[in-house]
Amino acid sequence: MAFWRSKKSAADTAAAPATGPANTPVNDPESATSVPSDSPPPAPEPESAPANPEPAEKPKGGGVFSKITGGLQKTRRVLGTDIRDLFKSAGRLVDDEFLDELFARLIRTDMGTKPANLIRDEVAKKYRGRVVELEEVIQTITEEIRSQLRQDDGDLAKAKSGPTVILVVGVNGSGKTTSIGKLSHYLRAARYSLVLGAGDTFRAAAVEQLTIWSERIGCEIVKGNKGVDPASIAYQTVEKALEIKADYAIIDTAGRLQTQKNLMQELQKIRRVIEKKIPGAPHEVLLVLDATAGQNAISQAKGFSEAAGCTGIVLAKLDGSAKGGVVLPIRDQFQLPVKFVGLGEGMQDMAAFDPDSFADALLKG
């Protein structure tokens, strides 16, 4: 499974510097950058780190559709069963009662009222007053979901020259640090070099977790002592990426709620520090949302998109949720492309988001 339409050429691969597992601690973070340190907020609850992350290896068979189909199993079970329950006999008359029942079942997946209304209206436009079969309704719903999810900018950004800097944000427990590990795995499998930045300096578990990922994947990591100014970690990470001519620099940030003003200001500060080192960076700001959060993910997206300038979404834990429909209101309200979806516990269990595959897997499987 490929994340990008084109991979590096053999010549580019040969030219890329070989990177192995290495730690680059920030011994004196305050001297690393002229940006002053803020007083650290209270440490949030730790996000559990995997005891034994899987070593980097290329994804095994099945392709995008099979991965997304597996990840959407719980959502498909709820939605598919509910819609099938509308058809007690061979066919069903599409009237107001049927349309209201359909709407109620759609919103159970947390897709929100607007997307559900659009689907209901499309079914009504095509079939009102007719007796229809289940397969006809399923096909119409799938086509409407596919239309709502269509996006033109779903590819991961790549800088024209020098390292591509990716800032990753999200609340604690969303799967943010694990998503960084999975993304790093795919980049390394595609023969890209990278540097990780352990910018969640207020959670020792996050630093430890990212260190484990770096060792297993085989890439450099920049980290500092607990409570170190995260902006200095970001600065050092970009500096290291420039030094070794890495293709990517991926920077973790402290898990925060979208209502924590001081922490959101910290994100803005990190962005300024990065841009001082590489104009135009960060090239991507990925917001990791927990699919199990359902509609609460909407408020998270709003707060982060305003403060951090998010460019894309990683929908994590999709395999553990029956609320996969939340992708629809996120796309509608914020016009943020969904870049990746997390589909399991293993490092290979992440897929580039494909609207057509998602729509098909949501109902058909």
Residue 201, annotated ligand binder? Answer: no
Q: Is 246 annotated as a binding residue?
A: no
- Annotated binding residue 181: no
Say whether 80 counts as a known binding-site residue: no
Known binding residue 256? Answer is yes
Residue 252 assigned ligand-binding role: yes
Phi, psi (degrees; rounded to nearest 5) at 119: -65, -45
- Helices 204-217 and 176-189, interaxial angle, to 10°? 10
Largest CA distance in the chain: 73
240 annotated as a binding-site residue = no
Query: Measured at the alpha carbon of residue 164, what is the angle toward residues 159 and 168, in degrees to the nearest 5?
Result: 130
Q: Is 62 annotated as a binding residue?
A: no
CA–CA separation, 52 vs 116, rounded Å?
A: 41
Phi, psi for 66 (deg, rounded to 5): -65, -35
171 a known binding residue?
yes
173 is in an annotated binding site: yes
Number of Cα atoms under 13 Å in the Cβ half of residue 346: 12
| β-pair type (131-132, 248-252) | unpaired
**Would the annotation count 117 as a binding residue?**
no
Question: Is 253 assigned to a binding site?
Answer: yes
Phi, psi of 77 (to 5 degrees): -65, -40
- Is residue 81 part of an annotated ligand binding site? no
Q: Are strands 164-169 and 338-342 parallel, antiparallel or unpaired?
A: unpaired
Binding site for GTP, by residue number, is 170-177, 252-256
Binding site, by residue number, is 170-177, 252-256
